[in-house]
Amino acid sequence: MSLKGKGAVTGIGETDYMRASPKDAFELQIEASLKAIADAGLSPRDIDGIIPIGITGAPAEAFVTNFGIPDLRFSAITPLGGASGIAALQAAVAAISAGICNHVLIPSGRNVSSGARAGVRIHQMPQFHLVTEFEYPLGAISPAQLYAPMARRHMELYGTTSRQFAEVAIAMREHAILHGNAVMKKPITVEDHQNSRMITDPFRLLDCSLESDGGAALVVSAAERARDMRQPVVEILGVAEGHPDSPSSITQRPDITRLGIAKAAPKAFGMAGVTPEDIQVAEIYDCFTYIVICQLEDMGFCKKGEGGAFVEGGRLRLGGALPTNTHGGLLSQAHMLGMNHIVELVRQLRGQGGRTQVADARLGLATGYGDLGDGALTIMARA
């Protein structure tokens, strides 16, 4: 049985994104969830499935308690870091299609000052015990240092340049400013990027995503039920997750320029029955500029090694051939573990994209990337 077209995102909700929110992570999760449920035209008591996202995600029980949910029929967690949100979509559609539940809430929210700082969490997580034992004591402390060698090898093998990384950062910033609900508000140029301080070569400050506070949430329902609900129907045509070779250690990975999404993409595109050329808007996980380039290659938008040239010439900007991260992404809107990418894709396909709306966008995709290379993507369409 294929999951194609079985599920739809019927509700989306986001808080304001900022640095140093006065609200704690749970309050941000509740605020975004209530918005998403109201957006779907549902009552919180209609929720009968919950998949919390992120290490500061409150357990399903907390939502049951606060919302008075009478009969929670499905709960799960999807531990794929920034790919968790899309992996949760897959789990939600599978559960709904199997008749287990009707409306799955996928809540997320974080307050960096309360301890979920992305840059220091890896060594506390059991799935990274090899990195923690063998690499952390060398001074490999941050995800940036673990991912930078992937980018460096790509540059050495294919001639990819830091100025090409800048193209990604500039597009995200331009979209964040237009979008409005974004942490970063100042335009940047290639020179600004090149002059930003080196963090861990080849990543400069403007290659790195933000640390920010906020919440984002989704409601997933059966596609056939969505037709009678409040919003324009946005169907999930394809969804898949993929795990890289050597998932616990990038150092030991045979090909460090290939991410888990390379395994997921053929499944998701095959399920949806479309090709990369058909995609009109893309929300691509962008914890670092290079990761966008690598995913474009791994999904087949271009060949391995051609991603640097692919992002040149404004291709990712509004008006370009592949408008990408129309909300500004993790680089310039907020680091919401990619949940903001899914919210933005749905908004675009509903035609509710505001000042960053891609004209007549009917088919788009969102990706997630997490931990040491897990990947996921979903292809959605306006019904």
Partner 1 sequence: MAAKPEPHETELSRPYWDAARKGVLLIQKCANCGKLRHYPQLVCDRCHSLGVEWVEASGKGEVHSWTVAHHVFHPGFAGEVPYALVTVDLAEGVRALGRLEGMEAGALRLGFPVEAGFHVEENGTPVLRFRPAGTRRNDR
Q: Which residues contact 331 (CB under 8 A, 6 or more apart)?
A: 168, 169, 172, 173, 176, 184, 206, 208, 209, 210, 286, 289, 325
For position 125 contacting partner 1 by CB under 8 A, the verdict is no
- Binding partner 1 (rule: CB under 8 A), the pick from 199, 309, 363, 383 is 199
Among 298, 277, 306, 329, smallest CA distance to 171 is for: 329
What string marks each residue from 81 to 120 as x (binds partner 1 by CB under 8 A) or -? Answer: --------------------------------------x-
Q: Which stretch binds partner 1 (CB under 8 A): 159-167, 194-202, 287-295, 357-365?
A: 194-202
Q: Which is nearer to partner 1, 35 or 258 (CB)?
A: 258
Give the whole-angstrom CA distance, residue 19 versus residue 5. 37
The verdict on 130 binding partner 1 (CB under 8 A) reads: yes
C-beta of residue 13 within 8 angstroms of C-beta of residue 35: yes
Q: Is 126 in the site for partner 1 (CB under 8 A)?
A: no
Which positions from 247 through 286 interact with partner 1, judged by CB under 8 A?
249, 251-252, 256
Site for partner 1, residues 157 to 176, rule: CB under 8 A? 157
Instruction: Give dist(CA 32, CA 37) in Å, integer.
Output: 9
The answer to whether the CB of 33 falls within 8 A of the CB of 20 is: no
Q: Tell me how far, at minimum, the Cβ of 26 lies from partner 1, in Å.
A: 28
- Is residue 282 helix, strand or coil? strand
Q: Does 135 bind partner 1 (CB under 8 A)?
A: yes
**For the purposes of burial, counting CB atoms within 10 Å of the CB of 218, is it exposed (0-12), middle (13-18) or buried (19 or more)?**
buried
Q: Is 121 in the site for partner 1 (CB under 8 A)?
A: no
Q: Are 16 and 214 in contact (CB under 8 A)?
A: yes
Shorter beta-carbon distance to partner 1: residue 158 or 285:
158
With binding defined as CB under 8 A, does residue 153 bind partner 1?
A: yes
| One character per residue 233-252, x = contact with partner 1 (rule: CB under 8 A) | ----------------x-xx
Residue of 77, 141, 178, 363 that binds partner 1 (CB under 8 A): 141
Contacts of 12 by beta carbon, 8 Å cutoff, 6+ apart: 35, 36, 39, 216, 217, 218, 219, 342, 343, 346, 347
189, 149 contact by CB (below 8 A)? no
Q: Using an 8 Å Cβ cutoff, are 137 and 82 in contact? A: no
Choose, by CB under 8 A, the member of 123, 267, 362, 382 that binds partner 1: 123
* 138 lines the binding site for partner 1 (CB under 8 A): yes
Residues 297-316 that bind partner 1 (CB under 8 A): none
Could you say whether residue 207 binds partner 1 (CB under 8 A)? Answer: no
**For partner 1, which is the closer residue by CB, 70 or 126?**
126
Closest contact distance (angstroms) between CB of 149 and partner 1 is: 4
Q: Are the beta carbons of 15 and 214 closer than 8 angstroms?
A: yes
Name residues whose C-beta falls within 8 Å of residue 279's C-beta, 6 or more positions apart in sequence: 301, 322, 363, 364, 365, 379
Token pair for 151: 């980018």
Q: Does 200 bind partner 1 (CB under 8 A)?
A: yes
Closest CA to 112 of 63, 66, 179, 55: 55
Among 149, 314, 320, 351, indicate the residue that binds partner 1 (CB under 8 A).
149
Q: How many residues line the site for partner 1 (CB under 8 A)?
A: 34
Q: Which stretch binds partner 1 (CB under 8 A): 26-34, 141-149, 174-182, 337-345?
A: 141-149
Q: Does 66 bind partner 1 (CB under 8 A)?
A: no
Q: Which stretch binds partner 1 (CB under 8 A): 40-48, 197-205, 296-304, 310-318?
A: 197-205
Using the CB atoms, write b or e for 63-88: b if 16+ within 10 Å: bbeebebeebebbbbbbbbbbbbbbb
Residues of the shown chain interacting with partner 1 in the complex, contacts defined by CB under 8 A: 119, 123, 130, 132-142, 144-145, 148-150, 152-153, 156-157, 197-203, 249, 251-252, 256
